[in-house]
Amino acid sequence: MRSRILARVVAVTALGVALAACNNSSDPVGSVAAGPATGDAAKIQAADGNRFTPATLELPAGEEVTIQITNSDDAAHDFAVEAAGLNTGTIQAGAVATATFTVPEGTTKFKCTFHRGMTGTIKGVDQAQG
């Protein structure tokens, strides 16, 4: 009796973990939108192999910028910049989203919250020194 209960608990736990792993979705946070940018935008792709290309963006520190993220992969992704308090929400395969924020000075990380290791860097470049 005890072994049957334990087996059921293990099975239910495993099912819950498997379902959670398949639930690649996130909610939009910050100044984000679905669809392509309407003006100038830095462009990045969520690409096959759970990577962003390019993995590094150099953007003007202190300036408000828009980044257009195109999901060219078969899997859903998102684009999150925790330091700027934003997340595009889920970007389905083949879809496009935009994120607008003020670029901090120095180095800021971005990531896909669905795929560990799918990260990149924004370098806030001082335009006065350029």
Instruction: Record the pTM.
Output: 0.80
Inside any domain, residue 20: no
Q: What is the pLDDT of residues 104-122, one digit of tens each?
A: 999 999 999 999 999 999 9
pLDDT in tens, 23-44: 678 999 999 999 999 999 999 9
**Is residue 120 included in any domain, yes or no?**
yes
What's the pLDDT band for 94 if we cut at 50, 70, 90?
very high
Q: Considering the domain boundaries, does residue 124 fall inside one?
A: yes
**Which residue, 66, 105, 72, is CA-closest to 88?**
66
What mean pLDDT comes out for the span 6-21? Answer: 47
67 found inside a domain: yes
Using DSSP, state whether 10 is helix, strand or coil. helix
Give Cα separations from 14 to 19, 71, 113 (angstroms): 9, 30, 22
Measured at the alpha carbon of residue 121, what is the angle toward residues 69 and 71, in degrees to the nearest 5? Answer: 20
pLDDT tens-digit readout, 49-73: 999 999 999 999 999 999 999 999 9
* CATH number, residue 91: 2.60.40.420
pLDDT of residue 25: 87
